Amino acid sequence: MRRYRFISFVSLGLACGFAMPATAAAQPLAGDAGAARYDGQVGAHIDARTPEDLERLESIGAALVSCELSPAGGDFILPPGTIAGAEALGFTITIVEPDVQGALDRESARIRASLDLYRQRGEGEGSFFDDYRPLPEVDAFIDELIARRPDLVSRFEIGQSHEGRPIWGMRISAAQDGCKPAFILNGLTHAREWLTVMNVLYLAEQLVDGYGVDPQVTDLVDRVEWLIIPVLNPDGYEYTWTTERFWRKNRREPPPSAPTRWGVDPNRNYSFRWGLAGSSGNPASQTYRGPAPFSEPETRALRDFVFATPQIRAHNDVHSYGHDILFPWSQLTEPSPDHDEYQALGDAMADLMVETHDVGRWSVGPLSTTLYRVSGGSTDWFYVEGGAMSLTYELRGGSFNPEASEILPGCRDTYEATLLHAAHVADRSSFRADMDNDCDFDFDDVLAFLVAFGAGEDAADFDADADHDIDDVLAFLAAFGEMS
Ligand SMILES: [Zn+2]
């Protein structure tokens, strides 16, 4: 079951009265002046299940915060005086946050204090992962990783958002471009899911710092080209920091008369099974699919980058929250052709999370039957069009922003599991047929395979059954044929 809380209440125990540096003034937080306010409003779970339920609640001013109603109901923000109205309509209301504005103000003060310390930090003080970080710090952290290992890390831009912000990625690889299977991960499709940014940046830091130190990381940075996009929806992210803390979608420009919640859900805007059940045609909906597939610059940029990067074999679209490992199909409710492989990998990943981090068991399954149907979602598109074994995480937490003390655990939860996903894809990728690692598929590779096969080396166990027989030769030739 999901616990639900809007905001965390952890205190860092910091003294107030610190001076804000000039750069911070340009980065207000959602509890500040100019931001949407929730005075007197409460956060509540309501047992609303149908579109009609939602309509009745919205007619008295309740705002849905969940992206969809589930069989258990949904999470709402209620203006003053509407609780009685909702009860009169026959709903059961469980208050989970009696003072939404107060919680926002406390969170804002906490993050500001942490940010101030982080910006002024001396050697060995203040970690990036102590609290959530706004765009300028995310950008600077990418530079910091590049500065640590310029031989391994580089920056790329996939395109720009509606409001002209660059969408940055980091390439982490010890191999020449295009020679190894690539694993693309993106955070922050949905603006308010701040933990996802931290989660993928933690992975990036582990890969950078672990190379040459940790044998598993070294192997996977040698064998996999990691492409990490921390913030796919930079306009939405900025908006959650400055104006509306619970914003989910991108910032498509509304027409003058538009409802205030105008925007496109990027994860309903991909072209595969777009416009079907599991998305909305209403621009005010949290799951508005946009006017056409890939109508949005953010998803279009990712699509074009994927088409220009044919070595992509794995993908993860990191979301929060829910403790789930999800895979295709997300729109169809029948099993995908690769269901068994997905399920086995997902189960092994969930096992590893329990073993390594002692977290409760995560749900593993197709998105459509584990959560709800998603039309025009990323996972199906990456699977069908992007040639990737594509997963979606729903990270830990009982809210979109678990408390600061949950950030590092929320990054570590998935770390080993993500490495397993990478190893799985690398182990079965046809790129293995480049036996001499020269980024070329030629006769030397055939010779190298035969030598390894004769010597009974692991590299020649192409079907991974721990023996060396004709099946390995056939598997090698199939991979070689695909690549050459
Ligand atoms: Zn999401």
In tens, the pLDDT along 45-85 reads 999 988 899 989 988 989 888 877 877 888 899 998 899 99
| pLDDT tops 70 at residue 10 | no
Instruction: Measure 249 CA to ligand 1 centroid, in angstroms.
Output: 9
Asked if the bond preceding 226 is cis, omega within 30° of 0, the reply is: no
| pLDDT tops 60 at residue 142 | yes
Distance between CA atoms of residues 420 and 412, nearest Å: 14
Residues 274 and 420 in one domain: yes
pLDDT tens column, 263-295: 999 999 999 999 999 999 988 888 999 999 999
| pLDDT tops 90 at residue 476 | yes
- What is the rounded average pLDDT of the residues 25-48? 78
Beta strands in 93-145 (DSSP E): 93-97
Residue 66 falls inside a structural domain: yes
Residues 288 and 421 in one domain: yes
Residue 119 falls inside a structural domain: no
State the pLDDT at residue 15: 23
State the pLDDT at residue 177: 84
Q: Which of 135-144, 298-307, 381-390, 400-409 has the lowest average pLDDT?
A: 400-409
Residue 113 falls inside a structural domain: no
Structure pTM? 0.90
CA torsion sign for 364, 367, 368, 371 is positive
- What is the rounded average pLDDT of the residues 182-207? 98
State the pLDDT at residue 121: 84
Query: What is the 8-class DSSP label of residue 70?
Result: B
* Residue 70 belongs to domain with CATH number: 3.30.70.340
Q: How far apart are the first and last CA of the chain?
A: 49
What residue numbers bound the domain in which 99 lies? 22-107
- What is the rounded average pLDDT of the residues 448-464? 92
Domain boundary among 75, 107, 139: 107
Q: How far is CA 385 from the centre of its chain?
A: 19
Indicate the residue type of 407. Answer: I
State the pLDDT at residue 11: 24
Residues 290 and 399 in one domain: yes
Residues 167 and 290 in one domain: yes
| pLDDT tops 70 at residue 2 | no
Q: Say if residues 267 and 377 touch (Cβ distance below 8 Å).
A: yes
Q: For residue 365, list its beta bridge partners.
A: 326
Distance between CA atoms of residues 411 and 279, nearest Å: 29
Residue 101 falls inside a structural domain: yes
Residue 321 falls inside a structural domain: yes
Instruction: Measure 433 CA to ligand 1 centroid, in angstroms.
Output: 37
Residues 301 and 254 in one domain: yes
- What is the rounded average pLDDT of the residues 369-375? 92
- What is the rounded average pLDDT of the residues 386-397? 96
State the pLDDT at residue 64: 87
State the pLDDT at residue 33: 67
Residues 189 and 282 in one domain: yes
Q: For residue 186, what is the enclosing H or E element?
A: strand 182-186
Residues 230 and 253 in one domain: yes
Q: Say if residues 393 and 411 touch (Cβ distance below 8 Å).
A: no
Q: Say if residues 248 and 274 touch (Cβ distance below 8 Å).
A: no
Q: Say if residues 328 and 290 touch (Cβ distance below 8 Å).
A: no
State the pLDDT at residue 258: 66
Q: How far is CA 345 from CA 82, 103, 329, 420, 423, in A?
A: 46, 39, 15, 8, 11
| pLDDT tops 90 at residue 306 | yes
- What is the rounded average pLDDT of the residues 138-142? 97
Residues 346 and 203 in one domain: yes
Counting the structural domains of the chain, the total is: 3
Beta carbons within 8 Å of 465's beta carbon, 6+ residues apart? 471
Are β-strands 153-160 and 93-97 bridged in parallel, bridged antiparallel, or unpaired? unpaired
At 6, the pLDDT band (50, 70, 90 cuts) reads very low
Q: How far is CA 72 from the centre of its chain?
A: 24
| pLDDT tops 90 at residue 4 | no
Instruction: Measure 175 CA to ligand 1 centroid, in angstroms.
Output: 32
Instruction: Measure 231 CA to ligand 1 centroid, in angstroms.
Output: 12
State the pLDDT at residue 32: 67
33 or 218, which is more confident:
218
State the pLDDT at residue 30: 66
Instruction: Measure 242 CA to ligand 1 centroid, in angstroms.
Output: 20
State the pLDDT at residue 16: 20
| pLDDT tops 60 at residue 433 | yes
- What is the rounded average pLDDT of the residues 104-114? 91
At 380, the pLDDT band (50, 70, 90 cuts) reads very high
Residues 98 and 67 in one domain: yes
Residues 141 and 54 in one domain: no
Distance between CA atoms of residues 211 and 413, nearest Å: 20
Active site residues: 394
Q: Say if residues 46 and 86 touch (Cβ distance below 8 Å).
A: yes
Residue 279 falls inside a structural domain: yes
Distance between CA atoms of residues 251 and 260, nearest Å: 11
Residue 13 falls inside a structural domain: no
At 25, the pLDDT band (50, 70, 90 cuts) reads very low
Domain boundary among 50, 73, 107: 107
Instruction: Measure 192 CA to ligand 1 centroid, in angstroms.
Output: 8
Instruction: Measure 474 CA to ligand 1 centroid, in angstroms.
Output: 42
Residue 404 falls inside a structural domain: yes
Residues 273 and 324 in one domain: yes
At 27, the pLDDT band (50, 70, 90 cuts) reads low
Residues 415 and 436 in one domain: no
- What is the rounded average pLDDT of the residues 167-195? 95
> Around ion ligand 1, which residues have CB less than 5 A away?
190, 319
Query: What is the 8-class DSSP label of residue 448?
Result: H
Are β-strands 312-320 and 389-395 bridged in parallel, bridged antiparallel, or unpaired? parallel
At 341, the pLDDT band (50, 70, 90 cuts) reads very high
- Nearest Cα to 364, choosing from 384, 348, 377? 348
